[in-house]
Amino acid sequence: MNEASYDIAVIGAGPAGSATAIGLSRLGYRVVLIHQPRRRLSIEGISHHTLSALQQLHCHHAVDAAGEQVARHIVWNGEETSRNREFVLNRPRFDAALLEDAIAAGVTLIAGKMVKNHRDSDHWTLKIEQEGGRQAQRARFFVEARGRGAPAHGSRASLGPAALAMSRPWRLPPNSSASHLATFAQGWGWYICDAEGNAVLQIMTAAKLKDETQTQGLSLQQRYDQLLNGFSAARNWIRQGTPAGEVRACGAGMTLHSDLVQENYLRVGDAALAPDPLSGHGIFESLSGAMTAIAVIHTLRQKPERLQLAADFYRRRIEQRYGQLARVGRDFYQQETHWPQQRFWQQRRDWPDLEPAHPEPLSKPARIETRPVILEGMIDSQPVVVTADQPLGVWQVNGVPLVPLLELLKSKKITPETAAQQLQCPLQEVKQAYAWLRQYRLT
């Protein structure tokens, strides 16, 4: 047993764990990242927003690992579109590039599987299983970033309709890059292929893994083939391909956890909020969750007296995002009307509720409240403007604090030039903040 001490241990090196470790290391913490690499090929797609988030985090190796851009061809409710473009991502390559970014940021890497953790009064002890044996490490803060596989410890706050993603790698001729998504009676399928001809065809259904393998008495492979038989669009995508691996399955329903943050513990990425893969935005959500987590953990380490404030900030953000993603997904599922009697489509038509995904901005009057915000990298309390469509409150627009601007505007007839001088903000930005306030009928 080899013992060392770290300020922060991050368990799991997907985008959430790596980005959190990188950000905290850059703030000067001694960070250890326990990583157990993905063993099998998986290909995903990321948007331009995700690449921008990686650039913002200075994850240059990860940016370079993104493959070519392809159009996503969608057939939904019989209508064809190909408006969105995505970058093809070889996930093992991308995750390895994130580890290079972590090394460059000064993070200590330990390859292995964390098999046990134990909390004492002021530190965690972690047992890590490696090829050559076991080792133990100690850290003051524990970041749970093991993705959907993270133990729930009874902390699931909300679960979307059950979903099973069955996927199989395929081999296509080189230069067949493409991305396709289409619906069928039992769910939907997604196919993505990179320039080298590595492809994955994934089929999403309403089942639970146990139902598929036990109740029906079929192997995963037989069930996948059976679904493919009834899914002509998907058969077409792989007509020139040959199987390049086993069929794998994993639960893929939306999940929100309740035990999100404590004084020396935080869940991030899919371990906190796992989105519906239909969004195609899971990696983006993990990176933006990591950016928030960095500020929350920094606050908890430097200003432990702000625990309530920081925890409230983190919980509200994740819960609000969960509700929004669920409702956006519901609106999209509602647009598919071919199989109203099928379980998959029935379950998704009105979950989580019938609230609008994007509330009308003026449906409730805007109000001012004191809320937690990120100020100079830490969570602090500030007056914000809360509106129907921005329920977490807006503190600044283009760096201009809204409530101080509103107070200036109300106290006297003041020109934007004078307001800019008093707030020490550029005039153009003050004009934009003023326009924002007007839009919400606050001036």
Ligand X SMILES: Cc1cc2nc3c(=O)[nH]c(=O)nc-3n(C[C@H](O)[C@H](O)[C@H](O)COP(=O)(O)OP(=O)(O)OC[C@H]3O[C@@H](n4cnc5c(N)ncnc54)[C@H](O)[C@@H]3O)c2cc1C
Which residues inside 14-73 make contact with ligand X, applying CB under 6 A? 14-17, 34-36, 38, 44-46
- Decide if residue 318 touches ligand X (CB under 6 A): no
Range in contact with ligand X (rule: CB under 6 A) among 215-223, 278-286, 356-364, 433-441: 278-286
- Decide if residue 286 touches ligand X (CB under 6 A): yes
| Cβ closest to ligand X, residue 269 vs residue 393 | 269
Contacting residue, 283, 293, 378, 379, with ligand X by CB under 6 A: 283
Cβ 305 to ligand X shortest distance, Å: 29
Cβ 173 to ligand X shortest distance, Å: 22
- Decide if residue 202 touches ligand X (CB under 6 A): yes
Contacting residue, 281, 298, 321, 330, with ligand X by CB under 6 A: 281
| Cβ closest to ligand X, residue 90 vs residue 264 | 90
Cβ 208 to ligand X shortest distance, Å: 14
Helix axes of 15-26 and 91-104: crossing angle, nearest 10 degrees: 10
| Cβ closest to ligand X, residue 61 vs residue 303 | 61
For residues 341 and 141, what is the distance between their CA atoms, to the nearest angstrom? 49
Which residues inside 84-123 make contact with ligand X, applying CB under 6 A? 113-114
Cβ 334 to ligand X shortest distance, Å: 22
For residues 36 and 417, what is the distance between their CA atoms, to the nearest angstrom? 56
CA angle, 389 then 369 then 363, to 5°: 30
For residues 437 and 406, what is the distance between their CA atoms, to the nearest angstrom? 8
Q: Identify whether the C-beta of residue 330 lies closer than 8 Å to the C-beta of residue 348.
A: yes
| Cβ closest to ligand X, residue 147 vs residue 372 | 147
| Cβ closest to ligand X, residue 66 vs residue 295 | 66
- Decide if residue 126 touches ligand X (CB under 6 A): no
Cβ 275 to ligand X shortest distance, Å: 6
Q: Identify whether the C-beta of residue 435 lies closer than 8 Å to the C-beta of residue 400.
A: no
| Cβ closest to ligand X, residue 253 vs residue 393 | 253
Residue type, 71: A
Cβ 13 to ligand X shortest distance, Å: 5
Cβ 349 to ligand X shortest distance, Å: 22
> Which phi and psi angles does 38 have, rounded to 5°?
-65, 135
| Cβ closest to ligand X, residue 46 vs residue 419 | 46
Compute how many residues bind ligand X; rule: CB under 6 A.
Answer: 35
Which residues inside 142-181 make contact with ligand X, applying CB under 6 A? 145-147, 149, 165, 167
Where b means 16+ CB within 10 Å and e means fewer, 292-304 reads bbbbbbbbbbeee
DSSP 62-119: HHHH---EEEEEEEETTEEE---EEEEEEHHHHHHHHHHHHHHTTPEEEESEEEEEEE
CA distances for 323 relative to 327, 330, 355, angstroms: 6, 10, 10
Contacting residue, 23, 187, 241, 280, with ligand X by CB under 6 A: 280
How far the first Cα of the chain sits from its last, in Å, is 65
- Decide if residue 329 touches ligand X (CB under 6 A): no
- Decide if residue 189 touches ligand X (CB under 6 A): no
| Cβ closest to ligand X, residue 192 vs residue 419 | 192
Beta 156-159 vs 164-171: how paired, if at all?
A: unpaired
Q: Identify whether the C-beta of residue 187 lies closer than 8 Å to the C-beta of residue 228.
A: no
Q: Identify whether the C-beta of residue 440 lies closer than 8 Å to the C-beta of residue 361.
A: yes
Q: Which of 222, 223, 181 lies closest to 202 in space, CA to CA?
A: 181
Cβ 439 to ligand X shortest distance, Å: 32
For residues 104 and 17, what is the distance between their CA atoms, to the nearest angstrom? 15
Residues in contact with ligand X by CB under 6 A are 11-17, 34-36, 38, 44-46, 113-114, 145-147, 149, 165, 167, 202, 250, 252, 269-271, 277, 280-284, 286
